[in-house]
Amino acid sequence: MQRGTFQLMKSVNKSIILNKIRTSEPISRAQIAKETSLTPPTVSSIVKELIDQGLVRESALGQSSGGRKPTMLHINTDAYYVIGIDAGPEKVECVLTDLTGKIVYRTSSRLAQPVAKEAFLAALKEIIYAILKVSHLDQDKIIGIGIAMHGVVDVETGTSLVAPILNLRDIPIKEVLEEEFNLTIKVENDARAMTLGESWFGGHGDIDSMVAVNIGRGVGAGVVMNGKLYHGAHDIAGELGHMTIDINGSVCECGNRGCLQTFVSGAAIAARAGMPTGKDVFEAAQKGNEACMQLLAETGRMIGVGLTNMIHMINPGKIVLSGGVMRSGTFLMPPLLETIQQRVLTNGARQTSITVSRLGEDATVLGAVSLLLVELFDPISKIG
């Protein structure tokens, strides 16, 4: 779907109705009018437009409380599709989903290290062409491409300002890909995209404030406040991994010393254990290696310190943890939770819900998909 076409599909009232159908289907026109306070003629007119566009379909008649039985409405989930990309830092993961986020096709490729800016952009183009080829879809059926990128992202221009693990700066992702594919492109920090994906697909209900933390190759977090994804004044809100824990600690990839991710990332855990990967540490702990079990417990306590600081700064209702390191949750979670209970200031803060993501390894790439879906279904919840 060309960029201009996608913009025409969006309007506040249209999105209100679409979202009401999405969250309440099957639902009648009369019920939509009642629950949204839109007038029945407005609802009927917009629903007709949505049916004509293929976004909404009608089904069998519903129950009547007297008079003619109403026709029920549903989202036509396979009318359009979204491409989502988790871009690095070690590989590029790409999925094609329907309007519910159901993954229809997926592919991935490794990123050569080190990688130049041009080669990185070429890798993105290549994987998008690959998913288009395998899906056999007309490009008009795709509403856009969402890209989750590690590091600091200027979301307005879709530019990767700083990608520290790739050692790249000022990558014009949105500009280059919109020129190549003539589709709407949304670029977001990977942890914030993951947070949006959690709020969209994670089954957390209508929670008002939430933090999602990704702990893997690096450490990042996203913040939802008052139902909106929060960026901060200069697009660096949520950089939990670069919270200083030890001013005399090891040098981080960002150049500072003692950042949280120098203690709790997968690479940091492996280095402290003298093993090739964090996965090796986890597997050794599973086999009863006492030193590895203690190291993971210590890592859990360090994560707990970082999350305690986050609780004191933001006071979210829920914290959701994901990423490769959380596969060791059996060893991490008890000391992590104990640390938070010992360190938070109030009994109320001790009630903060802390869970591991149910989306697993797909949390970030589904977050990339949600960048487009939130634009279609809920543009009034503007990302701030």
Domain end, chosen from 26, 51, 75, is at 75
CA distance 144 to 83: 6
Let me know if residue 251 belongs to a domain: yes
Angle between helices 12-24 and 40-52 (to 10 degrees): 80
Let me know if residue 287 belongs to a domain: yes
Let me know if residue 383 belongs to a domain: no
Q: What is the mean pLDDT of the chain?
A: 90
Of the pLDDT bands very low, low, confident and very high (cuts 50, 70, 90), residue 382 is very low
Let me know if residue 384 belongs to a domain: no
Is 200:357 a contact under the CB 8 Å cutoff? no
Q: What is the DSSP letter of 350?
A: G
**Which residues, 6+ apart, have CB-to-CB distance to 147 below 8 Å?**
84, 85, 87, 124, 158, 173, 177, 185, 186, 187, 188, 368, 371
> Quick one: 122 and 143 in the same domain?
yes
Of the pLDDT bands very low, low, confident and very high (cuts 50, 70, 90), residue 379 is low
> Quick one: 102 and 177 in the same domain?
yes
What was the pLDDT predicted at 69? 72
CA distance 82 to 208: 26
* CATH code of the domain containing 341: 3.30.420.40
Let me know if residue 309 belongs to a domain: yes
> Quick one: 89 and 143 in the same domain?
yes
What was the pLDDT predicted at 46? 94
Q: What are the tens digits of pLDDT across the range 322-355?
A: 989 999 999 999 999 999 999 999 999 999 999 9
What was the pLDDT predicted at 10? 61
Q: What are the tens digits of pLDDT across the range 172-198?
A: 999 999 999 999 999 999 989 999 888
CA distance 324 to 211: 18
Q: What are the tens digits of pLDDT across the range 89-103?
A: 889 999 999 998 999
What was the pLDDT predicted at 164? 86
CA distance 368 to 4: 20
Q: What does pTM read for this prediction?
A: 0.82
CA distance 160 to 171: 5
Domain that holds residue 113: 81-195+364-377
> Quick one: 320 and 260 in the same domain?
yes
Q: How many domains does the chain have?
A: 3
> Quick one: 111 and 49 in the same domain?
no
What 3-state class would DSSP assign to 1?
coil
Residue 372's CB is within 10 A of a number of other CB atoms, namely 26
Is 181:288 a contact under the CB 8 Å cutoff? no
Q: What are the tens digits of pLDDT across the range 34-59?
A: 999 899 999 999 999 999 988 999 98
CA distance 229 to 209: 9
> Quick one: 152 and 224 in the same domain?
no
Amino acid at position 20, single letter: K
> Quick one: 351 and 323 in the same domain?
yes
Is 286:320 a contact under the CB 8 Å cutoff? no
Angstrom CA distances, 327 to 278, 293, 358, 360, stand at 10, 14, 12, 9
Residues 236-250: what's their mean pLDDT? 91
Tokens of 314: 């933001």
Query: 59 pairs with which residues across the strands?
Result: 72
> Quick one: 239 and 351 in the same domain?
yes
Residues 246-260: what's their mean pLDDT? 93
